[in-house]
Amino acid sequence: MEELCTGLCSVLTETGVELGLAYFLSLLAGVLLVSGVPLLTVIILIWIERKVAARIQDRIGPNRVGPVGLLQTIADMIKLLSKEDITPTAADRVLYNAAPLVSFASVVLLWAVVPFTPFHYGVDLEIGALYFVAIASFGTLAIMAAGWASNNKYALLGAFRVVALLVSYEVPLVFALLVPVMLAGSMSLVDIVNAQSGMWFVVLSPLAFVIFYISSQAETGRAPFDLIEAESELVAGFNIEYSGMKFGMFFAAEFLHVFTNGIIMAILFFGGWMGPLYYESPLVAFAWLGAKGGLIYFTTLWLRNTVPRLRIDQIMAFNWKFLVPLSIANLILISLALKVMQELGIAPRDMLSASFGDLLPATAILLVINGAMILYLLGIMRKRGREARRESRDARAGYPQAAGAARH
């Protein structure tokens, strides 16, 4: 155990603290430091979320409490504290109370593997990328437990729909995730970032990023996949019976999950902390990661507030008949092209030591392949769109009144 005792731990042992205790304390300090990042950001995230939504909808948003409404979240928290917490008599009390905790914890736990800078991270697990997917499955189970334990028909139906959506979109998510893992030859998130020193993976495989982006939008239950809310059909779905702080925890978890996904995408596809002068100071590296993650996060908010909600059959068809085949085809094509190039000696076998110049020919070929796939997809979508428009026009032609109404 002595060899594990470094840093804060060794400082503590020198001042006379017992070895085991010193080790535990240093571990605890590390955990609190890493978990502090998501816990502090979530307070700001709620304000950003509301402000951005308001601006997109041509409103002002929170502007009363504190400068530009920055303290609104604090006021909301105080309000939530004073709210009565109703547990329905019919509910399964243990699971009902555990569900919001698990939901929030499953998101906070993701931050254990997030590499903030080359040297500052919770842990660099060998299986980092798989850890990310595995931990997210706790969130799915929490939603199922919440819906079931509420003992309410809306809650159960909402939970079932959401869970079906979440597990379905996990398939393209993981197939897209396999591309950076394959390119870096490692599941460790630190290795994945380091492997992008020559070229960001978004350039090598833009389609994988788009698939990952769409599926993670669905994984967080955001529009156009916000079945999780479904106010108009299921009066809020799985969290209908929740009130007060427990209700707030589900929402805090969702807000944090969206931002976490932004950070994860920055790490997987946009080179994480990489950027000009990142080696000068850990703060610069951290700022780069925050800026990239924040930008992706902003686009998800933008998307959420712009597009309408899809029906569940459309969501499922889009996933299983479009996204899943596409993600598989993408994985096969990228891996095939790269393997052929590696055998011919055009592409490097080790991304870690490959420079920008080494990767240029491979990047060009991969980009052409991606471009061809995207053009092909656009062709399909155009054809489908025309068919759908013709069908709706024919349908309207059958109802003269509706057609007249549409013209006015």
Partner 1 sequence: MELNAISIGFVVFSIFTLGGGVGVVTTRNLFQGTIWLMVSLFGVAGYFVLLSAPFLAAVQILVYIGAIAILITFAVMLTRSVARIKERYIRILPSFIASLALFLILLLGVTIPIFGAHSPGSIPEYVASTRDLGAALVDENGYVVPFLLASVLLTAAMIGAIFIARDENA
Partner 2 sequence: MNVLNEWAFVGLFAVLAPVFPALPIVIAWLFRPRKPNVLKSSTYECGVETIGDTWVQFRVQYYIYGLIFLVFDVEMVFLFPWAVAYNEMSLFGFVAGFLFIFLLTDALFYAWKKNALDWK
Choose from partner 1, partner 2, none: what does 52 bind? Cβ within 5-8 Å by kind. none
Going through 204-270 in order, the beta strands assigned E by DSSP cover none
Helix ranges (H only) for 311-355 are 312-318, 324-344
Q: Report the interhelical angle of 93-110 vs 244-269 (nearest 10°).
A: 30
Q: Which is nearer to partner 1, 11 or 167 (CB)?
A: 167
Q: How many residues bind partner 1 (CB under 8 A)?
A: 26
Q: Is the dihedral of CA 175, 177, 183, 186 positive or negative?
A: negative
Q: Read off the tokens for 382.
A: 């155009």
* 169 near partner 1, judged by CB under 8 A: no
**Least Å from the CB of residue 148 to partner 1:** 5
92 binds, among partner 2, partner 1, none (CB under 5 to 8 A by kind): partner 1
Q: Report the nearest approach of partner 1 to the CB of residue 173 (Å).
A: 12
Q: Which residues contact 376 (CB under 8 A, 6 or more apart)?
A: none
Best CA proximity match to 101, nearest among 219, 227, 242:
242
Q: Which residues of 54-77 are buried (b: 16+ CB within 10 A; e: fewer)?
A: beeeeeebbeeeeeebeebbeebe
Q: Does 325 bind partner 2 (CB under 8 A)?
A: yes
Of residues 105-144, those binding partner 1 (CB under 8 A): 125-127, 130-131, 133-138, 140-141, 144
Binding of residue 101 to partner 2 (CB under 8 A) = yes
The least CB distance from residue 398 to partner 1, in Å, is 30
CA-based radius of gyration for the chain: 24
Residue 123's binding partner, choosing from partner 1, partner 2, none, with beta-carbon cut-off 5 to 8 A by kind? partner 2
95 is in the binding site of which of partner 1, partner 2, none (Cβ under 5 to 8 A by kind)? Answer: partner 1
Out of 64, 83, 389, 393, the only residue in the binding site for partner 2 (CB under 8 A) is 83
Three-class SS string for 211-224?
Answer: HHHHHHHHHCCCCC
| 171: contact with partner 1 by CB under 8 A | no
Query: Is 403 a residue that touches partner 2 (CB under 8 A)?
Result: no
Q: Does 241 bind partner 2 (CB under 8 A)?
A: yes
- Binding flag, residue 191, partner 1 (CB under 8 A): no
92 binds partner 1 (CB under 8 A): yes
> Three-state DSSP class for 121?
strand
The residue among 187 and 223 lying less far from partner 1, judged by its C-beta, is 187
Kindly report the CA angle at 220 between 265 and 314, in degrees rounded to 5? 110
Q: Which residues bind partner 1 (CB under 8 A)?
A: 1, 92, 95, 125-127, 130-131, 133-138, 140-141, 144-145, 148, 160, 163, 167, 170, 185-187
